[in-house]
Structure formats: C-alpha cells, structure tokens
Amino acid sequence: MGLIDGALILADTTLTDMRSEQLIFYVQAAGIKPEELAGVAVAIGPGSYAGLRGGVAAAKTLAQALNIPIAAVSTLAAMAYNLALVQGTIAVILPARHDEYSFAFFGAEKGRFKRLTNDLVLPAEKLISRLKTITGEMYLIGKLKEYQLERPNFHYVELEQAPPTGVNVARLGWSEIQHGRLADPLTLVPEYSHQPQIREYKL
C-alpha cells in the first residue's frame, strides 16, 4: 500500500490483509484523515486470482464509502515505472498460461514515462518477434523461460528488482485521475493472467 501527497511519500508498506479497514488504519497511522483522501488507485493485473481479488475489492469499497474517484492501474505499468529514469524502451514480461505471456511496452526519457502498447497476451514466438524490432536501448523486466535473447542493447531486470509497489500504483493512478481517466467502482474487475479454477459442488 502506498500513500502519497504530490512527490511526498506518506506510507509505503506491503499488506497481506487487504481489507478496507486495514487501508484506513494505515491512512490514519500516516496522520491523514480518511475524508482527506482525494482518490484511490489499485493494481488490477494481470496477475493471480488470489493476489488481485482482495486488493481490488478493498479499493472499490474504500472509494464508494468515501465517495472519491478510483483509478485502475496495470500491474505491468506499475512494474515498469521502477525504471522511469532510464532512457529507452521498457518491456515487462509475465508468464500467463501455457506458452503465452502477458506483455507491454513502455517508454522512458529524461524522467518522462509513457505507455507504448496496451497490455497484451502473446505466444512466445510472437513476443520474441516484437522484442527484436527494438533497435535502441531495451530494458526487459522478466524472462521468457527457456528463451534468453542476448543482444548488446538488451538489459535484463529481475522481477524482484521491479515490484509493482503501492507508491508506483498511487503515482500512476493519481495521473489517471488528474486526466479524468476514472474507473467505475461498480464494474471494475481484476485482469487475471489465467481464469481462476473454481469448482462447483452440487448436492
């Protein structure tokens, strides 16, 4: 969970219990009254069912209870934002299902960060073809399992070095809110990298 006031970081912590009352606790611990919040941002994936469901539900509840705007932030964007100060193209690659990967391109130059593609799910072969089209400096967050492209302009970053932190989500989400790109808390749902396995029991 991240709490910001402009460039100032008020809170940055990892929560295992993603309930709205837990969010309020950390907001108050940072010296902020809940009614002083100007907006809520939440990472919506791609990711696992267990990792996304609680956070999205808590954020929606908080936004509705306080009647404040909510922004949906791609997990891939929140990861790429760790490299916002590099100069070049950033690719974030996460395993999705079978031989497919969740993937997106971002650009960074002199502190300016922008999205270059939507979040996509591509087979390994098509993803490799996309990566090979980049001629400038390329920063790759994640790997393609057995595929490891070795090129002079490729710089690999381990997933652990570029987590989708709460502060990154807050900063990207606040930008979305400022530009009027709001999510609807009634219809907002996570983007799962694969559909959850939910069994139906019949009596």
User: pLDDT confidence of 97, banded at 50, 70, 90?
Assistant: confident
- Report the number of secondary-structure helices (H) and strands (E) in the chain: 5, 10
119 phi and psi angles, rounded to 5 deg = -70, 130
Task: Outline which parts of the chain fall under CATH 3.30.420.40.
Answer: 2-75+163-178, 76-161
CATH placement of domain 2-75+163-178: 3.30.420.40
- Tell me the residue type at 202: K
The mean per-residue pLDDT over the stretch 108-124 comes to 94
For residue 47, pLDDT beyond 70: yes
What is the domain class of 76-161 according to CATH? alpha beta
The answer to whether the CB of 106 falls within 8 A of the CB of 168 is no
Q: What is the pLDDT of residue 24?
A: 87
Q: What is the pLDDT of residue 182?
A: 98
d(CA 62, CA 183): 13
d(CA 5, CA 16): 24
* Residue 149 bridge partners (DSSP): none
Burial state string for 46-72 with b = 16 or more CB within 10 A and e = fewer than 16: bbebeebbbbbbbbbbbbeebebbbbb
d(CA 122, CA 113): 23
Q: What does the DSSP 8-state code read for residue 87?
A: S
The mean per-residue pLDDT over the stretch 107-134 comes to 93
Whole-model pTM: value is 0.91
Other CB atoms within 10 A of residue 84 CB: 18
